Structure 1
């Protein structure tokens, strides 16, 4: 099986009717990466040449297959009347795209309610990034490129604070240290610090879980090894009166 025919397996988001904005973003980028976005938005017009038409139909079928595999089964049945990828794309947008205000409300609610829970720092941050990217997409629909860039710059500080406040209580100490810096650290700097702290806490927890009897045994072994080395250094050779070797190994 070639890479294009199985590419739908790589899509991480499935349309379930409530997540159109996120699905549209992921699926659009995916098809762009395959060089077939024209079949999705309708800009790849139907050719008249027979050979070109065969190629067009093949690419159209590829995009439809990817689309069918990226939506839930209850949505697939409603797509049977359509014969082109662009028709399906337009239909899904008309049916499932919510108003900007409703989408914004849902995304903001998800960001507010989302916390680290039992996830590690890396997994927690990855989901938070997805929520932020959806927030940016909604906010940037009616913005110029320059305006969107300025808005994203202003959001970095807010998102750094959001990230810190949603972490578990065990990160309280380093969180306070980062927030009290004279210069506000960048989000990637904060993430790196939290990953290091997570490693340190994991190592500390492992050490603390070792039974005291094992710790005592290791300490006793270390003491015996040290005493043995010292004893060897204190052996005096009767041939040369030097310390550290015996007569049998005397260099003289």
Structure 2
């Protein structure tokens, strides 16, 4: 089902194909199922925001825009800590362990 969320499985559009009606029905059933799963997994206030979207991939993209955060501050601090780490009087094993912890 992840293909519906990721956008790999798109809504059939070629009505000239032999199995169009069946493919469209399958897509709509699965897409609706996934949207229902997502709505049942979020609070009602968030679910209301999702009602305007027609596909599971649109819902997922909306949630991703709202809740995915890049953590540049943490990454920056980690890079500073790694650059600042020096062996000094530590053994190789202690230094390796300190670097691995970072």
Q: TM-score range by the shorter chain?
A: 0.5 to 0.7
Rounded Cα–Cα distance in structure 2 between residues aligned with 1:60 and 1:79: 14
**Structure 1: tracts of 5 or more residues without a match:** 1-35, 106-153, 159-252
Corresponding residue to 2:10 among 32, 39, 45:
45
Structure 1 position 86 matched with structure 2 position 57: yes
Rounded Cα–Cα distance in structure 1 between residues aligned with 2:56 and 2:71: 25
SS of the equivalent of 1:91 reads helix
Matched length: 72
- Structure number with bigger Rg: 1
What is the aligned-residue RMSD (CA, Å)?
2.1
Q: Deviations over 1:57-97 (max 9, x none)?
A: 01101110111111122211111110110000001111221
Question: In the alignment, what sits opposite 1:68?
Answer: 39
- TM-score under structure 1 length normalisation: 0.27
- TM-score under structure 2 length normalisation: 0.62
Higher RCO (C-alpha under 8 Å, 6+ residues apart): 2
SS of the equivalent of 2:41 reads coil
Tell me which stretches of 4 or more aligned residues in structure 1 moved more than 4 Å: none
